[in-house]
Amino acid sequence: MEEIGHWIDGKRVAGKSGRFADVMNPATGEVQAKVALASQAELDAAVASAAAAQVKWGATNPQRRARVLMKFVDLLNRDMDKLAEALSREHGKTLPDAKGDVQRGLEVVEFCIGAPQMLKGEYTDSAGPGIDMYSMRQPIGVAAGITPFNFPAMIPMWKLAPAIACGNAFILKPSERDPSVPLMLAELLQEAGLPDGVLQVVNGDKEAVDAILDNDTIGAVGFVGSTPIAAYIYERGCANGKRVQCFGGAKNHMIVMPDADMDQAADALVGAGYGAAGERCMAISVAVPVGDETADRLIEKLVPKIEKLKVGPYTAGNDVDYGPVVTAAAKANIERLVQSGIDQGAELVVDGRGFSLQGYENGFFLGPHLFDRATKDMDIYRTEIFGPVLTTVRAQTYEEALGLAMDHEYGNGTAIFTRDGDTARDFASRVNVGMVGINVPIPVPLAYHTFGGWKKSAFGDLNQHGPDAFRFYTRTKTVTARWPSGIKEGGEFSIPVME
């Protein structure tokens, strides 16, 4: 059986800890590989090597660093099919969805090619008599990213591309559930000209995560995953003096106003709720129709669309709408939450329980579920299910619908479907959620804007990609310069004032 190791100093290396985790094929339920789990000693050695490589890389001018990323983009396009196939094999998502995963990461790399512009400082001539003042953006040194299973190409690129563009070395700790694509990305970066050691990919579990958080050389850490782990990483990383950004769970609401195009709203909910089997932090998992008449019309539109969804393995190509969830444990947790919805009184309108696929009976497949008449005290509303389950909570007024999104502990994304510009504008202005869609169900910003939630969906002051990424991976140094000509003799004992 294949053993997947790490990427250290420009080559694949075997793990030394003797510990491994299973890499599953979610469609068959079979173990397809073993991935090495790094020890603290292995992680620390990778960091030491990265720190040595960073000195020369950080001194390389930004335009030359950008050229490596330019070549990397070409290679990503060249190997798109190969990357997508490897991603689907370990994650389970469909090939078109896997290509989208790679593409959205690629777009961030494209944005980072603009590093020479983004890294320019500010300059003030003659701030005082013979005095000039200017600022510089300098790399942190060594940064690290801890990334989730659900986007094994996109989120690693969201982390590593800006970090490398800024002149840092980078330690990537990807999910041990689907480790192949991050290693393939490392190979492509080496082919693009990235010096050995600037990117290290270290596979592992909590031991590797804690080693990252406790390593004194690592100056910045980014994480995407569940809220409890995000809070843990943020607190431990900050306590160790690191710059930390962590993105956690979500419960994204889509408000459907009475004047909305109901066909458009229903199509949006189906795609946003069930795509990738619901394993997206920006999935719409709560539909909030305003008024019972609106709710009845929406449910009437949704049911036949959901019942027609095709579930199957990625090898079925375009004949599949979504694939399995990632593990047997994830499937069991989703089934538990579905049962809690029934037990707590929600109406299960589309019942995906008992779904089985001939030839793939041991796979982690789930049929689509649709709940109606849920209430905000139910587990299916409060908890991030991360599966193909859409929950409908009926609101009687716009204010009640707005309040549902605002009162929930998560604040990652939200959307409103309406033809009324005043309502849409009010919603966008007032809702306390980080990313808002107006007649757009999954409002993931493009690479040149920033991605990030509010409330318990995010910890830290800066978002992912866009300009915030360059702020996160650099430190600002401000220089005040005066040359000897015309300087008066004698010391100054008061605070300098620019006259």
Q: Where are the domains of the chain?
A: 3-248+457-479, 252-438
In angstroms, the Cα distances linking 227 to 154, 176, 240, 296 are 20, 19, 20, 34
pLDDT of residue 386: 97
Residue pointed to by tokens 């004698």: 490
Distance, CA of 357 to CA of 364 (rounded, Å): 10
- The model's pLDDT over 58-91, given as tens digits with 9 standing for 90+, comes to 999 999 999 999 999 999 999 999 999 999 999 9
C-alpha distance across the termini of the chain, in Å: 73
pTM (whole model) above 0.85: yes
Q: Are residues 441 and 270 in contact, defined by beta-carbon separation less than 8 angstroms?
A: no
pLDDT of residue 497: 67
pLDDT of residue 492: 63
170, burial (CB in 10 Å: exposed 0-12, middle 13-18, buried 19+) = buried
The letter for the amino acid at 315 is: T
Contacts of 387 (CB under 8 A, 6+ apart): 277, 278, 279, 325, 330, 331, 333, 334, 337, 366, 369
* Residues lower than pLDDT 70 in the chain: 485-499
Residues with a catalytic annotation lie at: 281
Contacts of 446 (CB under 8 A, 6+ apart): 107
Angle of CA points 375, 379, 383, to nearest 5°? 110
The token pair at 377 is 């005290």
Q: At what angle do helices 95-112 and 154-165 cross, to 10 degrees?
A: 10
The reply to whether CATH 3.40.309.10 applies to domain 252-438 is: yes
CATH number of 3-248+457-479: 3.40.605.10
pLDDT of residue 432: 98
Furthest-apart CA pair in the chain: how many Å? Answer: 90
**Are both 3-248+457-479 and 252-438 of the same fold?**
no
Closest CA to 373 of 411, 407, 335, 344: 344
Closest CA to 381 of 355, 349, 407: 407
